[in-house]
Amino acid sequence: MAIPHDADDLSALAVWANRTRTPLIPRGSGSGMAGGAVGSGVIVDLSRLNEIGVVDKTARRVLVATGAIRGEINKLARERGLRFPVDPSSGDFCTIGGMVATNAAGARTLRYGATRRWVTALDCVFADG
């Protein structure tokens, strides 16, 4: 298991994995029902990459890291009169990274759409770091 503490750690891990041909298996809070964080390779615990930026009420957005918990994001948004309407059954403890990876949805999907409707930009780490 690898536990990166920041984007630089994650980039270095990606470069190493690419060089050694080692599969990386991302893991957030472990809320996925389909067993996505299992397999042969190195499990990458992304839970420490959990920063949540300031909720910008005017722009109606917030910048978050992959390990940020959806329930915490929604709590901060509600304090500003907003909300993140995508509500999977694991909404209180799932990570945004997992939601993006699976295009998570929930009971309000018909009205508000799934996760991809609410994502405007991504910073990604690729195999070359």
* Cα 116 from Cα 127, distance rounded (Å): 23
Question: Would you kindly state where each structural domain of the chain is located, as residue ranges?
Answer: 7-118
- Mean of the per-residue pLDDT values of the chain: 91
Q: Is the pLDDT of residue 37 over 80?
A: no
**Three-state SS letters, the chain:** CECCCCHHHHHHHHHHHHHHCCCEEEECCCCCCCCCCCCCCEEEECCCCCCECCCECCCCECCECCCCEHHHHHHHHHHCCCCCCCCCCCCCCCEHHHHHHHCCCCCCHHHHCCHHHHCCCCCCCCCCC
pLDDT confidence of residue 89? 86
**Three-state SS letters, 19-37:** HHCCCEEEECCCCCCCCCC
Assigned token pair, 10: 């994650």
The fold of the 7-118 domain, in CATH, is: 3.30.465
pTM score? 0.87
Looking at the chain, how many residues does it have?
A: 129
pLDDT confidence of residue 35? 63
**pLDDT single digits (tens) 85-110:** 999 888 889 999 999 998 999 988 99
